[in-house]
Chain A
Amino acid sequence: MSTPLYSIPGSPAPAAAPPPAPPDPIGAARTVNEVLAGSRVEAVMDELDRDLVGLAPVKSRIRDIAALLVVDKLRANLGLVPAGRTPAPSLHMCFTGNPGTGKTTVALRIAQILHRLGYVRQGHVVSVTRDDLVGQYIGHTAPKTREVLKKAMGGVLFIDEAYYLYRPENERDYGQEAIEILLQAMENHRDDLVVILAGYKERMDTFFRSNPGMNSRIAHHIDFPDYTPDELLQIAERMLAGRQYRFGEGARAAFAQYLGRRTRQPHFANARSVRNALDRARLRAASRLFADRDRVLTEAELTTILPADILASRVFAAAAP
């Protein structure tokens, strides 16, 4: 009779054979290429380059971080782990930039990269704002924050508009409690959780000045620049292509004109404004086609945005003398 793999309570434990190590392509890697091949991280970085327009400083920073992680892996494979400290590097990040500059999108990509390199186990992103972390009465905040942290474990916790957590004008605000719990989790669960804070540059700076503990625990501050008009046009074309639309003759120039006027107006939110403008242009294109009931519509007509659809925007009406 073969011996059981478990020990029966009260009887001496059988000598446990060490389980065979699972084949780990990254574990045995000695060159950068081997790590990249084992983790398929290159594919995500290429995708990042290809899918996202502009954002050159962000991309180079992410490449730097990815390179550091790859080299860290190689060092760990050779046993070069810093003595007396946890080997997990601090990966908490802060994304600052104006609205619509792609902070959330990049956070999703970062989660993928970290997942492929094995720094987070699941690679999901939990996106929260102040409402999800801060409670309404005493004793409500801590369980709420902890629940969010538990959901985010093994992935990335993305806190949008993080500066709202700290409200200096109200000294009994529960946001401070949420910040303290976050800080503790960022320190103690570094290998379970990566926290990314996002928000506008100036307000995040104020936030960090009043919470120095937060600032020192975030290793990577990445600033997202505004898009140039040219990049916004490229984004618009990609958005249209993604929905099987295209600019008709002269529509691209009309949209460039539209962007020129829209960027000077208040509340311009970069890519988000572009998306909204395109959605409105699609609405107008649809009602233009809707008006003509008996015509047979060709594929070209159904996929083309005409200059008239864009020029009907109230941005042009307001700017007209």
Chain B
Amino acid sequence: MMTNPTGRVTQGQFSFLPDLSDDEIRMQVDYGLRKGHAWSVEYTDDPHPRNTYWEMFGMPMFDLRDAAGVMLELAQCRRTFPDHYIRLMAFDSTRGVESIAMSFIVNRPKSEPGFGLVRQEAEGRNIRCTVHAYAADRPEGERFGA
């Protein structure tokens, strides 16, 4: 399942763990940089587990050598969107790979109301189920207070 009993969105790496501290994030970023990945920051306020394409916050950062640059960008994104989901993604540009190698959530809204199960009656006695985020009932930008 894509969500866990505590109602937290679980996407990417480390999402079943408690939130990473800034130092832990820096270590992960440094690890990615040592592998030659390019980091980028993305944000969204739609917590649906299948929402994979988030908004980019600035350009992906190529040619970085130290995590301080990524942390700077992340701090800026947190100031702009304190109550959004923010994730860091590492792009591996190796020929033939050319895709995201690491991705983890680094910022969450203060309260995540979680998901409800929606049942739809279909042909015969069939029931179709889907999850629906309570937060998504409100318009974009107003979902988590602020």
- Residue interface mask A129-152, B partner, CB < 8 A = 1: 000000000000001000101110
Determine if B18 and A154 form an interchain contact, defined as CB atoms under 8 angstroms apart: no
Q: Is the interface of A mostly helix, strand, loop or mixed?
A: loop
| B6 on interface, CB distance cutoff 8 Å | yes
| Residues 151-180 of A at the B interface (beta carbon under 8 Å) | 151, 153-155
Q: Which of A7-15, A54-62, A85-93, A224-232 contacts B (4 or more CB under 8 A)?
A: A7-15
Quick one: which of B6, B63, B72 contacts A9, CB cutoff 8 A? Answer: B6
Known: A10-B6, A150-B72. A192 touches B66 (CB 8 A): yes
- Residue interface mask B45-58, A partner, CB < 8 A = 1: 00000000000001
Nearest to B72 among chain A residues (CB) is: A150
| A290 on interface, CB distance cutoff 8 Å | no
| Residues 164-218 of A at the B interface (beta carbon under 8 Å) | 189, 192-193
| A109 on interface, CB distance cutoff 8 Å | no
Quick one: which of B6, B17, B18, B69 contacts A153, CB cutoff 8 A? Answer: B69
Known: A150-B73, A153-B72. A121 touches B66 (CB 8 A): yes
What is the CB-to-nearest-CB distance from B47 to chain A, in angstroms, rounded to a whole number? 15
Quick one: which of B58, B59, B63, B73 contacts A151, CB cutoff 8 A? Answer: B63
Quick one: which of A6, A143, A150 contacts B69, CB cutoff 8 A? Answer: A150
What is the CB-to-nearest-CB distance from A8 to chain B, in angstroms, rounded to a whole number? 8
Give the number of chain B interface residues (Cβ < 8 Å).
Answer: 19
Known: A150-B61, A150-B73. A9 touches B18 (CB 8 A): yes
| B100 on interface, CB distance cutoff 8 Å | no
| A280 on interface, CB distance cutoff 8 Å | no
Nearest to A191 among chain B residues (CB) is: B68
Quick one: which of B16, B63, B69 contacts A149, CB cutoff 8 A? Answer: B69
On chain B, the residues within 8 Å of A273 by CB distance are none
- On chain A, which size bracket covers the interface? 10 to 19
Nearest to A151 among chain B residues (CB) is: B63
Determine if B65 and A151 form an interchain contact, defined as CB atoms under 8 angstroms apart: yes
On chain B, the residues within 8 Å of A121 by CB distance are 66, 68
| B64 on interface, CB distance cutoff 8 Å | yes
Q: Which residues of B contact A (CB under 8 A)?
A: 4, 6, 8, 16-18, 58-59, 61, 63-70, 72-73
Known: A150-B69, A150-B73, A154-B69; 5 extra A-B contacts, CB below 8 A, are A9-B4, A121-B68, A124-B65, A153-B72, A193-B68
